């Protein structure tokens, strides 16, 4: 049960979904841990993923590369005189992928966020070769954002196996949300695996 979890935008809810799925898979008997290879700004996301896996990983294992500024990684790295190199991340990923039955990897920002010149979050996902879950925030614009992201996932030679529809508490749940719920599977031919409601703390999983 291994996935790369991306989102249609920075605030789609990737960390919330990744932590929720980590806890749920562990309750179902998996040895799931989660990592966010790159983070920018305060370490709340890293801490949330560490706690979701009962602190079985160190903070450095959850997030091998962190930048202080809450900016796009390429810019946050520049401010520190650094340049992202996937070699900083991949050994940790490969170790966890080899030693765990279940690993979730949360991307940073959106799918194509630049990590370095000519190297994006999509390139990092491609190097990991995991099936992709797409977190879609259920609001106006979601259809366009989802279709663009899925087009790029396919162009990078990866497969999106499911959509997680996230109902954020700050969004209005009306005809827009209902339309997204109905149209996303039809337009994308990809199932909505889960729909997350505000305040939800558990997922019911049918896994073997």
The verdict on residue 127 lying in a domain is yes
pLDDT digits (tens, 9 = 90+) for 8-51: 988 899 999 999 999 999 999 999 999 999 999 999 999 999 99
Contact status, residue 113 vs residue 121, Cβ threshold 8 Å: yes
The verdict on residue 188 lying in a domain is yes
The verdict on residue 160 lying in a domain is yes
The verdict on residue 131 lying in a domain is yes
The range of the structural domain enclosing residue 83 comes to 3-196
The predicted pLDDT at position 30 comes to 95
pLDDT tens across the length of the chain (208 residues): 899 999 998 889 999 999 999 999 999 999 999 999 999 999 999 999 999 999 999 999 999 999 999 999 999 999 999 999 999 999 999 999 999 999 999 999 999 999 999 999 999 999 999 999 999 999 999 999 999 999 999 999 999 999 999 998 887 668 899 999 999 999 999 999 999 988 888 887 766 5
pLDDT digits (tens, 9 = 90+) for 71-86: 999 999 999 999 999 9
Contact status, residue 20 vs residue 49, Cβ threshold 8 Å: no
The whole-angstrom separation of Cα 97 and Cα 87 is 15
The verdict on residue 38 lying in a domain is yes
Overall domain count for the chain: 1
Q: Phi and psi dihedrals of 203, rounded to 5?
A: -125, 140
Q: Respond yes or no: is residue 36 known to be catalytic.
A: yes
The predicted pLDDT at position 185 comes to 96
Q: What is the pTM of this model?
A: 0.95
- Domain with residue 155: its CATH number is 3.40.50.300
Catalytically annotated residue among 36, 100, 139, 145: 36
The rounded mean pLDDT for the chain is: 95
């Amino acid at each position: 049960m291994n996935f790369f979890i991306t989102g249609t935008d920075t605030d789609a809810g990737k960390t919330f979904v990744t932590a929720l799925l980590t806890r749920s898979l562990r309750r179902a008997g998996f040895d799931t841990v989660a990592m966010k290879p790159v983070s920018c700004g305060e370490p709340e996301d890293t801490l949330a993923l560490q706690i979701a896996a009962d602190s079985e990983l160190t903070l450095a294992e959850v997030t091998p590369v962190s930048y202080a500024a809450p900016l796009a990684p390429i810019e946050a790295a520049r401010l520190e005189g650094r340049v992202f190199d996937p070699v900083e991340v991949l050994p940790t990923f490969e170790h966890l992928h080899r030693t765990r039955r279940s690993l979730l990897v949360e991307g940073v920002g959106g799918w194509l966020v630049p990590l370095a010149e000519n190297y994006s979050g999509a390139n990092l996902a491609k190097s990991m070769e995991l099936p992709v879950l797409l977190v879609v925030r259920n609001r106006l614009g979601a259809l366009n954002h989802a279709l663009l992201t899925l087009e790029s996932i396919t162009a990078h030679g990866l497969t999106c196996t499911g959509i997680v529809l996230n109902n954020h508490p700050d969004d209005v749940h009306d005809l827009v949300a209902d339309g997204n719920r109905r149209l996303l599977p039809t337009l994308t031919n990809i199932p909505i695996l889960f729909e997350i409601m505000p305040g939800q703390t558990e997922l019911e999983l049918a896994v073997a």
